[in-house]
Structure 1
Amino acid sequence: MQRIVLLTLGWLAIVLGTLGIVLPLLPTTPFVLLAAWCFARSSPRFHHWLLWHSPFGRYIRHWQQHRAMPPGAKSRAIFLIIITFAISIALVHILWVRIMLLVMLGLLVVFMWRIPVVAETTDEHPPPR
């Protein structure tokens, strides 16, 4: 039963993380890391897929190895965060929502700015299945 719950939660996290790429208030990274955690405890097959064949794999492996972001990823992430929040702020006409979005943007950018950047050492190859 626990395996089914973790698999379901893992796939739900993948869906939400993927949606978070285009929706400004839905974060991608925490959901993808949650999916990696769930799959590591429930399905070696899906965990292997997530680490080595999904678009998120390189970043997850880098985070697991260094607890940091690869060069270039931080600046791209901050740029995309600012762009998506700017679009949201431009589309919203309620003052308190705009203020809330600005506060959230500020907190998120500060959080992202504090994450260390570590260069990749060598290009790893997937372990055998």
Structure 2
Amino acid sequence: MKIIYQLTGALSLVFGLIGAFVPLLPTTCFVLLAAWCFARSSPAFYRRMRGSVLLGGIIGSWEQHRRIPAPAVRIAILSMLVSATVSLMLLPGLLLKAVLVILLLAGCVMVYRLRQTGAPLP
């Protein structure tokens, strides 16, 4: 299991770092997943993430208060809306479009309901 956690954590961290630069790829959720995986598989790497200037704030805010920065929520919802809009234009069939809209609404509600901090993104 340790290797699976490490691989998942590494992949999530890579996606999270890419997401800092690519608008449609979320950063916060991948960083939190990576921290969770490394906390179970590599305590030393987890400590390095927690001590990082760029990642430590996101992880610390979630672990201490179960909150994420409000700008991260807005970016996540906007990213979902943009990617769903593009997908709706490309998907054939009304049923697939309806399923996408239902999943989009569920995702937006779930992200919006997360407790938020007023802190800016690092």
**What TM-score do the two structures reach when normalised by structure 2?**
0.71
In structure 2, the residue corresponding to 1:72 is in which secondary structure?
A: helix
- The structure with more helix, counted as a fraction of residues: 2
Question: Deviations along 1:102-121, whole A, 9 cap, x unmatched?
Answer: 0001111111121122234x
Q: Map 1:37-76; keep pairs closer than 5 Å.
A: 37-53=36-52, 56-76=55-75
Partner of 2:115: 116
The gaps in structure 1 that reach 5 residues or longer are: 124-129
Is residue 9 from structure 1 mapped to residue 8 from structure 2 by the alignment? Answer: yes
Q: What is the number of residues matched between the two proteins?
A: 119
Separation in 1 of the partners of 2:86 and 2:57?
28
RMSD (Å), alpha carbons: 3.2
- Ranked by relative contact order (alpha carbons within 8 Å, sequence separation 6 or more), the top structure is 2
Larger Rg: 1
CA–CA distance in structure 2, aligned partners of residues 17 and 94 of structure 1? 32
Amino acid at match of 1:93: P
The Cα shift of 1:19 comes to: 7.4
Q: Which runs of 5+ in 2 are unaligned?
A: none
Give the TM-score normalised by the residue count of structure 1. 0.68
Paired letter, 1:71: A
